[in-house]
């Protein structure tokens, strides 16, 4: 039978990991928005769709400025962050056919470039040799585009994981979120462990997955009855919120997610932040101090690895472990006392 304190500590840790993971996701989205990373990657990838093909580069430069692509741009000089396959295929075929979306116009244009040696036109001639209809030709172009996007998506996900791990480490190190220290603190205070677990169960209900499987906080989360504790372990949420608001982010949703999750994290009565009480102290013993610092680094790295698993992972885990707390109460665990007490 599960010990109620162990369950409470597990729920609290999972909730903290969820908060940090949501913060990492929100920060990443804000960073990508400001740097226009996705738009730059998409433009660069499409530009290199046919390597060492000057004819393709010439066509693509014209496609970028076609009216089909212009409507997707937030500003005239900025490439869109995403393009539907149907839109790209239409823009490309319109450019090849000199603004005529007919199979005859496209065949004429391709035949006129048969001596160019372009890999792109070789592909077009191969498709046209099957005497397709315009819709069939467009479907082939869409298939090529989707294949390229699959490769780009794979590359993006691999790099996003690395970037998320780095951001998670910097966040955990900056806020001194040490899994080992938090666990020891909660293990020694049963009442606090129970209180935080109950709060985590309540606050966890304000999180949900959106259509993109991204974990977000529901509206109305600001009305949560946050835990009121007297501690200054990390900068106050008001200070951080003012700093976040100063970004004037165009992506208000992720900015709000970052502010709300930080507000909750900063209100938890756990040893977080670089205060004197949370700093390793070896009592003038070099080796003891070194050992404690190594333990601190290990605790932060454990948090980093956990957070890098992502918000969706910890959202699912929280939903699975919270019923254990109710089950523990219904079993009426008594007589065991607080762990570590005789």
Q: What is the pLDDT of residues 298-307, one digit of tens each?
A: 999 999 999 9
> How far is residue 9's CA from residue 270's CA, in Å, rounded to a whole number?
11
Please tell me the least confidently modeled range out of 113-127, 144-158, 209-223, 229-243.
229-243
Residue 216 β-bridge partners:
208
Decide if 112 contacts 106 (C-beta within 8 A).
no
Decide if 181 contacts 278 (C-beta within 8 A).
yes
Determine the pLDDT at residue 227: 41
Determine the pLDDT at residue 239: 46
Determine the pLDDT at residue 216: 80
Determine the pLDDT at residue 339: 36
Give me 265's structure tokens: 């994290």
Give buried/exposed letters for 22-59 (b at 16+ CB in 10 A, else e).
bbbbbbbbbebbeebbbbebbbeebeebbeebeebbeb
Helix (H) / strand (E) containing 208: strand 207-209
What average pLDDT does the segment 158-184 reach?
91
What average pLDDT does the segment 72-89 reach?
82
Q: Three-state SS for 139?
A: helix
Confidence bin at 73 (pLDDT 50/70/90): confident
> How far is residue 300's CA from residue 244's CA, in Å, rounded to a whole number?
24
Decide if 234 contacts 273 (C-beta within 8 A).
yes
> How far is residue 288's CA from residue 290's CA, in Å, rounded to a whole number?
5
What average pLDDT does the segment 234-238 reach?
46
What average pLDDT does the segment 100-119 reach?
84
Decide if 326 contacts 4 (C-beta within 8 A).
no
What average pLDDT does the segment 89-98 reach?
88
What average pLDDT does the segment 60-75 reach?
83
CA dihedral of 32, 36, 38, 43, whole degrees rounded to 10: -170
Is the pLDDT higher at 220 or at 8?
A: 8
Report which listed range, 114-118, 178-182, 275-279, is most confident. Answer: 178-182
> How far is residue 253's CA from residue 113's CA, in Å, rounded to a whole number?
48
pLDDT at residue 247 is higher than 50: no
> How far is residue 281's CA from residue 292's CA, in Å, rounded to a whole number?
7
Task: Give percent of the chain with pLDDT exceeding 70.
Answer: 81
Q: How far is CA 162 from CA 77, 166, 305, in A?
A: 30, 6, 11
Determine the pLDDT at residue 229: 37
> How far is residue 324's CA from residue 210's CA, in Å, rounded to a whole number?
26
* Residues 63-68: contacts with CB under 8 Å, at least 24 apart: 63/88, 63/91, 63/92, 63/95, 66/91, 66/94, 66/95, 68/94
Determine the pLDDT at residue 181: 94
Please tell me the least confidently modeled range out of 241-245, 305-309, 338-342.
338-342
Residue 1 DSSP one-character state? -
What backbone torsions phi and psi does residue 22 show, to the nearest 5 degrees?
Answer: -65, -40
pLDDT at residue 129 is higher than 80: yes
> How far is residue 253's CA from residue 266's CA, in Å, rounded to a whole number?
20
Question: pLDDT tens digits, residue range 135-170?
Answer: 998 898 888 888 888 877 777 777 778 888 999 999
Determine the pLDDT at residue 221: 56
Task: Give percent of the chain with pLDDT exceeding 90.
Answer: 20
Determine the pLDDT at residue 324: 75
Question: pLDDT tens digits, residue range 10-60?
Answer: 999 999 999 999 999 888 877 776 666 777 778 887 877 776 677 888 888
Determine the pLDDT at residue 236: 45
Confidence bin at 224 (pLDDT 50/70/90): low
Determine the pLDDT at residue 252: 66
Residue 218 DSSP one-character state? P
> How far is residue 309's CA from residue 178's CA, in Å, rounded to a whole number?
16
| Angle between helix 286-307 and 134-175 (nearest 10) | 160
pLDDT at residue 223 is higher than 60: no
**Burial of residue 223 (number of CB atoms within 10 Å: 0-12, 13-18, 19+):** exposed
What backbone torsions phi and psi does residue 291 show, to the nearest 5 degrees?
Answer: -65, -40
């Amino acid at each position: 039978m599960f010990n109620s304190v162990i369950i409470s500590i597990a729920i609290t840790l999972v909730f903290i990991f969820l908060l940090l993971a949501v913060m990492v996701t929100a920060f990443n989205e804000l960073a990508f928005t400001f740097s226009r990373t996705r738009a730059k990657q998409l433009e660069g990838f499409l530009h290199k769709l046919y390597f060492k093909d000057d004819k393709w580069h010439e066509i693509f430069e014209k496609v970028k400025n076609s009216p089909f692509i212009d409507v997707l741009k937030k500003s005239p000089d900025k490439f869109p962050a995403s393009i539907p396959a149907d839109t790209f295929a239409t823009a490309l075929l319109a450019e090849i056919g000199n603004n005529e979306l007919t199979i005859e116009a496209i065949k004429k244009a391709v035949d006129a470039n048969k001596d160019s040696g372009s890999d792109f036109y070789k592909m077009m001639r191969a498709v046209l040799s099957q005497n397709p209809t315009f819709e069939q030709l467009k479907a082939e172009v869409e298939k090529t585009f989707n294949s390229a996007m699959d490769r780009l998506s794979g590359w993006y996900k691999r790099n996003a994981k690395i970037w998320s791990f780095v951001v998670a480490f910097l966040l955990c190190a900056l806020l001194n979120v040490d899994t080992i220290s938090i666990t020891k603190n909660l293990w020694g205070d049963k009442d606090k462990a129970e209180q935080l677990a109950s709060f985590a169960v309540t606050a966890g209900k304000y999180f949900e997955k959106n259509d993109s499987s991204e974990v977000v906080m529901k509206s109305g989360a600001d009305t949560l009855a946050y835990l009121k504790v007297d501690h200054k372990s990390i900068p106050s949420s008001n200070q951080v919120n003012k700093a976040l608001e100063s970004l004037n982010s165009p992506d208000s949703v992720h900015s709000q997610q970052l502010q709300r999750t930080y507000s909750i994290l900063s209100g938890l009565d756990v040893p977080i932040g670089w205060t004197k009480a949370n700093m390793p102290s070896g009592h003038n013993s070099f080796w003891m101090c070194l050992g404690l610092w190594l333990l601190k680094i290990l605790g932060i790295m454990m948090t980093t690895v956990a957070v890098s698993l992502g918000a969706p992972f910890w959202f699912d885990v929280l939903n699975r472990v919270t019923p254990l707390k109710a089950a523990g109460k219904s079993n009426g665990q008594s007589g065991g006392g607080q762990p570590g007490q005789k």
